[in-house]
Structure 1
Amino acid sequence: MKEESGCSGEKRRAEWASLQPELVQLIADRVLSTSGVDEYMGMRAVCPAWRSAVAKPSPHAAVADLRFRPRQWVLLHGADDQEGRPLFLNVATGRFRRLRLPLLRDYIFVGASDGLLVLGARDLPHAARLLNPLTGDMLPFAAPIPPEDWVETAIVVGFEPTIIFAFEPAYGKYQYIPAYCSLGRGGDAVYSADPMGQLRAVRFHDAASNQDALFYLRSMVTYADNVYVLNSGGTLCKIVRTGGHWYAERILEVDKDYNVALVESAGKLLLIREQPEIIQVFSIDVKRKLLEPIESLGSSALFISHGNCMVVDADMLPSIKGNCIYSISFAGIQLDSVHVLYDLSDGKRRCFSGPLIPGDGLPPESDIIHEGPLSLAQTPKN
């Protein structure tokens, strides 16, 4: 029976491998549109015949063509295994994947945005690169990466993809701390870079003085094929290109007195407002220029860290609670991290890790929950 079963399996594989190339490509196109580039690249790995039939995107298409953009995949920083393989998570399905990306050792890791990794060459002038981790394709840029400690990135799509860099100007040497930009300090300059051009400052037009000024950042996100940013003055803007230059086009004014973060979720642009006692979530209507309060996230959970924000489907991740916000706050002048869970269903804020300092607006010690996970990388793998 085992031999028959084995022969039957080999026969089926041979039948699949003998499919007409046109039919294989048709199936691959359907897989790409419904399941994404991960499953598409998996089809190419089935057999040599399928690899020949299923076209591999060019380095430019792997970045510029949204069909090949791994937009639901996020890099979990600091979760590399002993072999140095980075850990990726699909926020929609809860699937974890470790990828062998040996070329990361040859580049400076700057950040991750919209499914792509932003890298810099180790040799001067540290030219920027965009890497699609699922296809292995890399698009070179002429512009260098900013020589700063803290760098945040976003991607503007189009025929010529553009990297938007946000960083705090500093006078030190090249020191790279991956992917975390201190967005609350209001001292972060915003610059753009396309494949053939150099770094250019993104300007903000001040209607009162009728002059352009440098734009300083609090939060930034890619949404609906555009980059939206929130500046230190509490103005939400869209990055637009006019006359060969990038400008921050004003959308609306938001509260500037609290910690805020922008995030894209299920086709909506969300604003997260974190106050000492409560955390509020708003949907931004870009066309009508309105903020609409959101009372429930359903099965979704939000993770906030230093101005960066991410949404996951809690139903797909064991030990993650839906309709909740996981936040990292700082306690006191020592900047000790405090992990906070805010439940939108009852409005309660609970600490589940870290020291507490009286008067910092956090719950008393009796409310500390000594259980994890403290990060998505610690959740059980499906």
Structure 2
Amino acid sequence: MAAAPGDILPPLGNPALLPPAKKVNEDPSFPQATPVVPSMIAEDWSKWSTLPPDLVRRVADSLLSTNDLDCYIHFRAVSPSWRAATDDPMSNTSDPRFRPRRWIILDEHFQSEGKFLLLNTHSGRFLHRNIPLLSDHYVVATTRNGYLVLADKSPPHAASILNPLTGVVIRFVAPVPPEVGSAAVVALACSALGLTFFSDSSHKTYTAYPDSESFVVHEVPQVAYGSLRKAVVGGVYSDTIGHAMIARLCCSLMSPHPNDLCFPVGLATETLLVGSVEGFILVFKTDIELGKLVALDNINNYAIFMGHQRCLAVDADKFPGIEANCIYFTEQLGSSAHIFKCNNKDRKVERISEAADFVKQDKKFVLVADRPLTIIHLLSSYTINIPDSQLALQQIP
């Protein structure tokens, strides 16, 4: 499926498909490139389009392995032969190869006129994506793996799941429940994409599949609701395990101190717990043999960002300015908030800047605009706020 013109900006770091320009050495000490004439371009593209299918698939698989699905779509658009040699994301919407992973959608502070800013937390690649579908849909939520959850603007506001990297839309029969919050999870079960919403007011979850007539309501004990919701917004929710198991896992990890801020967070193949415990920022893992939590002083090349709303881990090697084995967290001081950095090895804590990084406006913390923004600010903003559901805002009297 070829991307619509103008939908995606040229991806950063996307290798050029054209061969290098041929050179002629008029003076060996000053090599110069000769212009590439149109006939040469046509000839070169003709050669590229006749690559063996096995080689084309190997290149395509390399893009899928890094979850660069937008580059995969561009790759398939090169020629009919390349499309014939590779699988179409539209042909099987439940194929896990074409599901977004490792991506986050940065909040509305970085959005304008239907354009979203996405970030691959493993590769460090930013992507601006234009979403024409938003002209007749409300954004209800964004998921930790990179999906957009939408609702039709026309009643009864049927739900949809949009993969912004491939343009694939999964439409639901059931309307979005009016009382749901902005936290949502997209899960793969029984070869179909399912959708679960959370209601903070009632501590209930709402689940449906594309053919469901309505969302099924699940009562969640109050003590388990918060940990389950944190698992979802922290990206720990697994497609292979259900609500009950995630709730038990999170409850076993949560701090006994009710006022401490703790989040489960997925790091590589492990589920860890990070949080503020009696004034200390700590990272724990579960030691199955000992049957207890063990504090870690090394998370290798990862850095963890934790805010009031959610938490995520990134590969620090891919983000200049972010230090590995550190936890970046926000702390509210009156009507403002500051970003702090805690070294996970020696527990040393330092403030990122003397001035406040966020100011409170209504119920949200907004980045202070009179300074250059860094990647630390962008990721911290992602963790301190969760955008409100546009549908819920429209229904407020």
Question: What TM-score do you get using the length of structure 1 for normalisation?
Answer: 0.72
Contact 2:142 2:149 in 1 (8 A): yes
Contact 2:102 2:146 in 1 (8 A): yes
Divergent runs of 4+, >6 A: 285-289
Q: Secondary structure at the match of 2:164?
A: coil
CA distance 1:79–1:66, change in 2 (3 Å): farther
Between stretches 102-111 and 88-97, larger displacement belongs to 102-111
Q: Secondary structure at the match of 1:151?
A: coil
Question: In structure 2, what residue type is equivalent to 1:267?
Answer: T
1:216 aligns to 2:218 (yes or no): no
Deviations 1:246-275 (A, max 9, x none): xx5667523242211122121211211223
Alignment partner, residue 243 of structure 1: none
CA distance 1:372–1:79, change in 2 (3 Å): closer
Give, in angstroms, the shift of residue 134 of structure 1: 0.7
Contact 1:190 1:217 in 2 (8 A): no
Contact 2:305 2:380 in 1 (8 A): no
**Structure 2 counterparts to residues 1-382 of structure 1, below 5 A:** 5-6=36-37, 10-21=42-53, 24-25=56-57, 27-29=59-61, 31-33=63-65, 36-58=68-90, 61-62=92-93, 64-80=94-110, 84-113=114-143, 114-148=145-179, 150-158=181-189, 159-169=191-201, 188-197=203-212, 198-204=214-220, 216-218=225-227, 219-221=230-232, 222-226=236-240, 237-238=244-245, 253=252, 254-257=254-257, 258-275=260-277, 277-284=279-286, 290-332=292-334, 334=335, 336-351=336-351, 352=353, 353-354=355-356, 373=374, 375-376=377-378
Q: Distance in 1 between matches of 2:346 and 2:242?
A: 31
CA distance 1:30–1:328, change in 2 (3 Å): closer
CA distance 1:291–1:226, change in 2 (3 Å): farther
Q: Secondary structure at the match of 1:263?
A: strand
Contact 1:129 1:138 in 2 (8 A): yes
Alignment partner, residue 389 of structure 2: none
CA distance 1:160–1:91, change in 2 (3 Å): same
Q: Percent identity?
A: 30
Give, in angstroms, the shift of residue 214 of structure 1: 9.5
Give, in angstroms, the shift of residue 329 of structure 1: 2.6
Give, in angstroms, the shift of residue 73 of structure 1: 1.4
CA distance 1:22–1:166, change in 2 (3 Å): same
Q: Distance in 1 between matches of 2:294 and 2:166?
A: 38
Contact 1:224 1:267 in 2 (8 A): no
Q: Secondary structure at the match of 1:195?
A: coil
Contact 1:112 1:153 in 2 (8 A): yes
Give, in angstroms, the shift of residue 97 of structure 1: 0.9
Q: Distance in 1 between matches of 2:171 and 2:223?
A: 27
Q: Distance in 1 between matches of 2:357 and 2:129?
A: 35
Task: Indicate the structure with greater helix content.
Answer: 2
CA distance 1:338–1:80, change in 2 (3 Å): closer
Contact 1:151 1:166 in 2 (8 A): yes
Question: In structure 2, what residue type is equivalent to 1:275?
Answer: V
Contact 1:43 1:54 in 2 (8 A): no
Alignment partner, residue 18 of structure 2: none
Q: Distance in 1 between matches of 2:159 and 2:287?
A: 33
Deviations 1:300-337 (A, max 9, x none): 111222231111112211222222222223234x5x33
Q: Which runs of 5+ in 1 are unaligned?
A: 170-186, 206-212, 230-236, 240-247, 357-369
- Structure of greater relative contact order (alpha carbons < 8 Å, 6+ residues apart): 2
Contact 1:79 1:86 in 2 (8 A): no
Deviations 1:175-199 (A, max 9, x none): xxxxxxxxxxxx6332322222222
Alignment partner, residue 367 of structure 2: none
Contact 1:108 1:122 in 2 (8 A): yes
Question: What TM-score do you get using the length of structure 2 for normalisation?
Answer: 0.70
Q: Secondary structure at the match of 2:346?
A: coil
Q: Secondary structure at the match of 2:323?
A: coil
Q: Distance in 2 between matches of 1:80 and 1:111?
A: 15
Contact 1:88 1:98 in 2 (8 A): yes
Give, in angstroms, the shift of residue 106 of structure 1: 2.3
Contact 1:154 1:164 in 2 (8 A): yes
Aligned-pair RMSD on alpha carbons? 3.4
Q: Distance in 2 between matches of 1:116 and 1:371?
A: 29
CA distance 1:312–1:256, change in 2 (3 Å): same
Give, in angstroms, the shift of residue 25 of structure 1: 4.1
CA distance 1:328–1:145, change in 2 (3 Å): farther
Deviations 1:64-101 (A, max 9, x none): 22111120111111354655421111111111111121
